[in-house]
Amino acid sequence: MIAESLTCQPALVSMRDLDVRTVEALIHRAEEFKHGAQLELAEPVFAANMFFENSTRTHTSFEIAERRLGLSVVDFNPQASSVSKGETLYDTCLTLAAVGVRLLVIRHSQDAYYQELLNQPALPVALINAGDGSGEHPSQSLLDMMTISETFGGFSGLKVAIVGDLNHSRVARSNMEVLKKLGAQVYFSGPEAWYDKRFDCFGQYLPMDELVDQVDVMMMLRVQHERHSDDASFDQADYHQQYGLTLERAKRMKSDAIIMHPGPINRGVELASDLVECPQSKFVEQMRNGVFVRMAMIESVLRGNQLGGLA
């Protein structure tokens, strides 16, 4: 009952909007879906997944979450849309709302693109942010929290390292904040050039070799080659040796520590290829949990907008 009232949001665009109890309630609901809970919509709801940036796992995961909840998913291909004729994002959303789409899941390269879409009377839609520029990626953050919570039963006192391309990662940004709120102790590692002094208030920066045997969670970030295209000097093997989770480093991890990665993985760069599916890796489990977390998020915004016959 408490969970239900907490998981009733007008929109889900930023982890910053969510207090600790709401995060816990969403994770709890996701676990219920994982264990077979069903939801019946009393009225049909059309959803559109608007991915202006490439994605396999987030896009497919949202689509499967939508279908499992009984929504009708409308094809939206940005390359074939009127966006290519110069239409604004607001006008494209206005169009989709006018033709009857009631859930918009959006990934867009512009930071906080959603600000112009919120609280618009002409947009009677439920909105979920599936990633904004270098901003946030709340569904990834929630599935990470669900995976940690499932493994350790809670966050208090847990030591979590976030390693790698911190500056470009919307996952890192969301996670450092929510982990601190939830009571975990955050550490950072990776190239210092990709570390921002503003992260200091969330945790401590340490070299990989000092971190690896201390932490409970080793959260590796993807090197976003597409955002470093000007950097011809980037050497993958060198990165792996200095900042990656090598097989040698993995052996020094605590016996019950886990490895996480949001995907897609650059095998042999962030992570030795053999670690991707090793027993300590939660990579596949994170993706599995993603569907259930997204079902909980969708239910929450449908309720928050009285859609699908949900109160």
57 binds its own copies (CB under 8 A): yes
Q: Which is nearer to its own copies, 90 or 205 (CB)?
A: 90
Q: Which residue has the tokens 């618009």?
A: 120
Q: Which stretch binds its own copies (CB under 8 A): 11-19, 52-60, 205-213, 243-251?
A: 52-60
28 binds its own copies (CB under 8 A): no
Q: Lay out the site mask for its own copies across 112-151 (x = CB under 8 A, - = otherwise).
A: ----------x-----------------------------
75 binds its own copies (CB under 8 A): yes
Q: Which two tokens stand for residue 283?
A: 């990579």
279 binds its own copies (CB under 8 A): no
Compute how many residues bind its own copies; rule: CB under 8 A: 54
Q: Which is nearer to its own copies, 226 or 256 (CB)?
A: 226
Q: Which is nearer to its own copies, 4 or 31 (CB)?
A: 31
Q: Which stretch binds its own copies (CB under 8 A): 96-104, 166-174, 240-248, 298-306?
A: 96-104
- Note whether 171 and 221 are within 8 A (CB): yes
Q: In sequence order, what are the beta bridge partners of 135?
A: none
CB 130 to its own copies: min, Å: 13
Among 39, 94, 112, 206, binds its own copies (CB under 8 A): 94
Q: Which is nearer to its own copies, 2 or 99 (CB)?
A: 99
CB 228 to its own copies: min, Å: 12
Q: What is the DSSP string of the chain?
A: -HHHHHS--SEE--GGG--HHHHHHHHHHHHHHHTT-----SS--EEEEEESS--SHHHHHHHHHHHHTTPEEEP--GGGSGGGGT--HHHHHHHHHHTTEEEEEEEESSTTGGGGTTT-TT---EEEEEEETTS--HHHHHHHHHHHHHHHS--TT-EEEEES-TTT-HHHHHHHHHHHHHT-EEEEES-GGG--GGGGGTEEE--HHHHTTT-SEEEEPPP-GGG-TT-TT--HHHHHHHHSB-HHHHHTS-TT-EEE--S---BTTTB-GGGTTSTTB-HHHHHHHHHHHHHHHHHHHHHHTT-TT--
Known binding-site residue numbers for carbamoyl phosphate: 57-58, 107, 137, 140, 263-264
Residues 205-264 that bind its own copies (CB under 8 A): 225-226, 263-264
Known binding-site residue numbers for L-aspartate: 85, 170, 222
Which residues of the shown chain bind its own copies in the complex (CB under 8 A)?
46, 48, 51, 54-57, 59-61, 63-64, 67-68, 72-77, 79-88, 91-92, 94-96, 98-101, 122, 225-226, 263-267, 276-277, 284, 287-288, 290-291
